[in-house]
Chain A
Amino acid sequence: MGRFVVRRVLQAIPVLIGVTFLIYCLVFLLPGDPIRALMGEKQDPHLALVLRAKYHLDDPLVVQYWHYITGVFRGDLGTTYTGRPISDIVSQRFPVTLKLSLTAFGFEAVIGILAGIFSALRRGKFLDNVVFIATLFLISIPVFVLGNVLQLELGVNWKLTPVAGIEDGWPASYVLPGLVLASTSMAYIARLTRTSMIESVRSDYVRTAIAKGLPRRRVIGVHALRNSLIPVVTFLGMDLGSLMGGAIITERVFNLPGIGGQLAQSVSLREGPVIVGLVTLLILIYLVANLAVDVLYAVLDPRIRYE
């Protein structure tokens, strides 16, 4: 187990370095010029020249990347073209995104799995149909529609939740955005759990467990569920990454200052260093989440061993 983890961590290093360079190149290749993007409709060509020189923007790609990556190894993530340190941006935005995505993650895991289990056990009955329709509903509604409608009804009209912003802190400010962000995945997880649960309930070892006279709770909760969770855990692990980087719409609707919004803004402003910094962080999370998933397989299925 230990060796497996170490190997995976070592593998991550070349991935990270390669990816930073790749993203740096991609941003460099985007048409447009960050200084101009900053100035919008009021351009000052003289000032633009001064700023370009200051941020090495006239140097070739490799030189620019060298300036950036040597800075990173000195612990300096660089600054935006307005002089704001990127480490500032990360330390302010990252906690918001983490709170939001973990809240959403919690919702989709708990509600999704529970709904899946119950509809599998009551297959074809009323509850199963309710879950089926609810998931269909969630999958077919775009996130920004759901977000805006819930915000208007629960926030503006009924005043149950804050309309927007993070002033009320966790959990108040994050419950509704988290639920909205989780909606689609929650539906997928419910369906996934249901299918895989139905399969396990029918399998031989479950019949054996029932025949042995084990209580129903133990048969369902341990024997059947644990086995059916493997595809669900795979999905959850992948999803954690996309929840982090892909919450742009939810962040915009609820005015949450997270990573997604910053990424979108930085791409439109061509702020290479910011994009590289944030994306690297997201990749790191992906890698950690995937490692956690692989390790969890061993927990769920005793036959899987990493040695």
Chain B
Amino acid sequence: MRGAKSAKWVAIAAVVALGATACGGGGDTGNGKASGKNNGVVSVEIGQPQNTLVPSNTYETEGGQVIHALFTGLTKIDSNNKIVNDEAQSVETKDNKVWTIKLKPGFTFHNGEPVTAQSYVDAWNYGADQTNAQQTNALFSHIQGYTDLNPGPKKTVKTHTMSGLKAIDDNTLQVTLTAPFSAFPAQLSFTGFVPLPKAFFKDPKGFGKKPIGNGPYEAKTSFVDNEGISLVKYAKYPDASSFPVKGINFKVYSNQDTAYKDLLAGNLDVLPVIPTSGLATYKKDLPGHNIDVPEGAVGYIGFPLKYNKAFQNAKIRQAISMSIDRDAIASKIFLGARSAADDYVPPLIDGYRKGACGETCTYNPTKAKQLYKEAGGLPGNALEIGYNADGDHKTWVEAVANQIQKALGVKVTAKPFEQFQTILNDLDAKKYKGAFRMGWQMDYPNFEDFLRPIFSKDAIENGSNYAGYTNPTFEKLLSEGDQGATEADAIKKYQEADDVLLKDMPYIPVYFYRLNTGFSDKIKSMNIIAHQIDWTSIKLG
């Protein structure tokens, strides 16, 4: 029995060794239950942010939601989707090129440091510098001196400050752009443009775990990956009284279906985006506690215009567009979570024109077929539409394929790619010749944000122009819009640029996204602006 005895000990030791790690970790943050009634604390679902919580490295809604509560920027979007000043007292310019921004006094970071013009200059220089490889790097490209900070890969950056940024005094910031850009104040509302305290530059990593912002809420705990972060109201915030919520618990969910169940069970207070599985029932499940409003995002079908001649005739693209029954897609496939697109710019944007696309975006199979014949058809009478199978795209792309096939008598196949990036790789290699699905979510609510990043010549190298579309008239009108003396002038020019697109149809706009949000009994009413919770709008029950 000796052998057996010692064997027993080895086995026990192995099990203990495994178990010891299990007990040691215990990484629970004492978040506690979300729903203690009326203590003024609400819990909000987020996805795991991609990076640590550094504003210039946060380009997704997950982290953006937290940054938005922790920081205040120069401008913000109000409930009518207009740009208004936030920390800025005034944002002025004569030529849309040199901007003078005065700050409201009294704002401090959560560690007590006052917010000055220099806090902005430092933050933006950091964001634009390629050495720091920040996700929002390209957003700073309008500022003079941006190219000095971005000489290209494997090259050393010689200067770490952009010549276009000047802190004239503590409360005055002067920004010089490379060219006139009338949408600059709108761009400033994006969370990438918030200021950073001196503490950030000493320890960016630590800061990313527990950010020190200048916003209405301060971090109570450090961010725990895949779990979340707790925020409390910052008492010294100048406008603190207009924020009814006392504290926020951001809870990370890897699965929105689970979050939806937690919302129904009362363990979660706000679910910003209802998952597809809940769309059919959420208005019944959460009567009076749901939001259904238009969102700043568009879904398209795109074409590799730059190398596939078959699509270069605009009539082909118009024919395809007219064979899509957008209303059916929006109501039957998306159960109202989308609406039919009738422009390149969604309804909540200033300057949106209802029905701007006209008959090109209206379902008309007869006319479509006629146009298709006039254009000479597609080679082999066949069309492929690629989509990424990791998102919720299969059903609608297949439905669209079906509609086109019926209307044009062309063989249409929906081709799955495993990820969106695999489509892009094949487009880069000029390997994939078919059409593809594409989406765009705005960074800031301005007409321009739905044109330049997707269709301009610059965006081929420095943005999302995957079609490789170029049109000199469009470029000209875009830059005229940038120089618009007043907001109305700018919008007018952008609309003309939009008209060029509507005629050319480089992409086919298919649907506009709608935002479907649910919240618990603890909240009486609330509002979401540009994907982000408007914390002043919440009324607690």
Interface residues, chain A, CB within 8 Å of chain B? 1-2, 5, 31-33, 36-47, 49-54, 82-84, 88-89, 91-96, 98-99, 102, 148, 151-152, 155-156, 159, 162-167, 169, 251-255, 257, 261, 268, 285, 288-289, 291-292, 295-296, 298-299, 302, 305-307
Contacts and interface: CB of A to CB of B under 8 A. Distances in A.
B254 A95 contact: no
Contacts of A306: 3, 7
Given A102-B19, A163-B265, A45 B153 contact: no
A1 B259 CA distance: 51
Interface string B26-59: 1111011100000000000000001110000101
A285 B33 contact: no
A5 B3 CA distance: 12
A257 B265 contact: no
A18 B18 CA distance: 23
Contacts of A40: 60, 420-421
Contact of B3 (A36, A51, A52, A298): A298
Contacts of B22: 95, 98-99, 102
A163 B7 contact: no
B261 interface: yes
B133 A47 contact: yes
Interface residues of B, number: 75
B11 A43 contact: no
B226 interface: yes
8 closest cross-chain pairs (CB), A and B:
A95-B25, A257-B226, A98-B22, A36-B421, A53-B153, A298-B7, A49-B153, A156-B265
Nearest to B224: A92
Given A47-B137, A292-B15, 18 more contacts: A1-B7, A32-B422, A38-B50, A40-B60, A41-B439, A43-B464, A43-B466, A50-B152, A83-B52, A95-B25, A165-B227, A252-B254, A254-B258, A255-B255, A257-B254, A285-B18, A295-B11, A296-B11
Contacts of A151: 258, 261
Contacts of B251: 165
Q: Is the interface of B mostly helix, strand, loop or mixed?
A: mixed
A47 B4 CA distance: 61
Contacts of A292: 10-11, 14-15
A169 B438 CA distance: 42
Given A82-B50, A288-B17, A54 B133 contact: yes
B420 A41 contact: yes
Contacts of B422: 31-32
B25 A45 contact: no
A300 B52 CA distance: 51
B419 A268 contact: yes
B501 to A, nearest CB: 19
Contacts of A288: 14, 17-18
A98 B24 CA distance: 11
Given A102-B18, A165-B251, A253-B258, A44 B11 contact: no
25 contacts: A33-B425, A39-B59, A43-B466, A45-B462, A50-B133, A50-B153, A53-B154, A82-B57, A84-B51, A84-B225, A91-B25, A94-B21, A102-B18, A102-B19, A164-B258, A164-B262, A165-B251, A169-B28, A255-B254, A268-B390, A288-B14, A291-B10, A292-B14, A306-B3, A307-B3
A255 B464 CA distance: 33
A178 B147 CA distance: 54
Interface in B447-484: 453, 461-464, 466
Given A32-B422, A169-B26, A152 B225 contact: no
B172 interface: no
B425 A51 contact: no
A32 B419 contact: yes
Given A1-B10, A41-B439, A44-B463, A252 B390 contact: no
Contacts of B419: 32, 37, 268
A299 B8 CA distance: 6
B464 A42 contact: yes
